[in-house]
Structure 1
Amino acid sequence: MYFAALLARTEDGWEASDTELDDVETLSDLTDLARDASVDEDTVLVFIEQEDAWFGVVRVDGEDDPRIFVSDATAAARSSYGEILLTDELLGREPGAEDTIAALEELVGLDGTEDGEPDTNPDNNSDTDTDTGSDTDTDSDDPDDPDDGYGADADAVPAGPLGDTLVLADLGLPEAELLMLRTDVLAEIAEALGAAEVLETVR
């Protein structure tokens, strides 16, 4: 179960609002959502939490690029909302690398030949599979199998916290305290920011 909320800083303190992420497909969508909630281009924080599995914070200051922190990148990679936060830049990979890999995989057939390349042994398609059993067909077609091509590649995502650990440092939550958060995270963050009461109104 997910919970998402926006905290917008104003001259009188923080204003909170819950938000639906159904129409959010990219980080740009999320950033636009935050900017729409901004007062005089002041700071807006987007909180996303999946029970006790992981949480993410996106900070948007005016037109600056968003700053992102994810508590557990591996857990977030298994979530559609988590994948929005795990950008190429955050993961330290070349932009579009994931699309390139997917395109290359589409070009390669199940027999290991590239699309359009003739099979040099068309009469022996079934021999190898029947003789060796599991040697040539390891796919289980199980969405929960991490090696079966479903979801994010867990090997490509580092375990543990990822991103800007100082994202809330100037707002009252130092890096060390942010990294120690485990349960009831959003309440702890809101308490440190002095926004506990306004956040509680939308939970």
Structure 2
Amino acid sequence: MYFAALLARTQDGWEASDTELDDVETLSDLTDLAREASVDEDTVLVFIEQEDAWFGVIRVEGEEDPRIFVSDAAAAARSSYGEILTNELLGGDDDDLADDLDALDLDGTEDGEPEAGDPDDEDRVSVTAGESVPAGPVGDREILRDLGLSEMELLALDTDALMEIADALGAGEVLETVR
């Protein structure tokens, strides 16, 4: 189960809206959603979380390339939306992305995933033949620094991370309304 929300910065503070990811198949789709929510090309944050397994933050400002942070690349790579982000960050093959998404179940896990506790798969997960994704955070660790959340604080987040991020940005109440 996913939770996804947009936080758009305005002159009056932050505005939050939940978002459906059903039509999102690429990072471009996700970036377009964020740009549509932008007021005067100001900062928009896209929050994605999968049942406390991983979270991702995508920061979009105007026409600049999006900045991305994922809390656990290996966990995210096992899910459809997380795979979009990890492919972008780790240079995965975008041509195979649609095929990879089709192979996922609705719960975001692949058929035939290794059993939990398999020692060979604890630190890395194979996304496609010959590729592996590191366990742990990947991406722009300073993505929220200028908004009041340091790299150390971001890396220390665990459960309910998106609420903690929103609280640090002064947007906790508005995010709570869409959660």
CA distance in 2, matches of 1:70, 1:155: 18
Structure 2 contact 87–94 (Cα < 8 Å) conserved: no
Q: Which residue of 1 aligns with 2:65?
A: 65
Distance in 1 (alpha carbons) for counterparts of 2:172 and 2:67: 22
Amino acid in the other structure paired with 2:48: I
Residue 155 (structure 1) shift: 5.4
Q: Root-mean-square deviation (CA), in Å? A: 2.2
Match of 2:140 in 1: 164
Q: What amino acid maps onto 1:167 in structure 2?
A: I
Q: Aligned runs of 1:1-203 on 2, under 5 Å?
A: 1-88=1-88, 90-91=89-90, 93=91, 96=93, 99=96, 143-145=112-114, 152-153=127-128, 156-203=132-179
| Shift in CA distance, 50/11, structure 1 to aligned 2, threshold 3 Å | same
Amino acid in the other structure paired with 2:127: A
3-state DSSP of counterpart to 1:74: helix
Q: Distance in 2 between matches of 1:73 and 1:35?
A: 25
| Aligned amino acid, residue 152 of structure 1 | V
Equivalent residue number for residue 136 of structure 1: none
Counterpart-to-counterpart distance in 2, 1:144 and 1:76:
14
**Structure 1 residue 51: deviation in Å?**
1.4
Structure with max Cα Rg: 1
Q: How far apart are the structure 2 equivalents of 1:71 and 1:12?
A: 29
TM-score scaled by length of structure 2: 0.81
Matches of 1:61 and 1:188 in 2, distance apart?
A: 22
Structure 1 residue 96, shift from structure 2 partner = 3.7
SS in 2 for 1:201: helix
Separation of aligned partners in 2, 1:98 and 1:180: 34
The CA distance in 1 between the partners of 2:52 and 2:24, in whole Å, is 22
Percent identical residues: 76
Q: What is the number of equivalent residue pairs in this alignment? A: 156
Distance apart, 1:98 and its partner CA = 7.1
Q: What SS does structure 2 have at the residue aligned with 1:68?
A: strand
Q: Distance in 1 between matches of 2:9 and 2:94?
A: 36
- Residue identity in the other structure for 2:11: E
Is the 2:41–2:62 Cα contact (8 Å) retained in structure 1?
A: yes
Higher percent of residues as strand: 2
Q: Is the 8 A contact 2:87 2:93 kept in 1?
A: no
> How far is 1:11 from its partner?
0.3
Closer, same or farther: CA 10–179 of 1 in aligned 2, 3 Å: same
- Structure 2: 5+ residue runs without aligned partners? 100-110, 121-125
**TM-score of the pair, normalised by structure 1:** 0.72
Q: Which runs of 5+ in 1 are unaligned?
A: 103-141
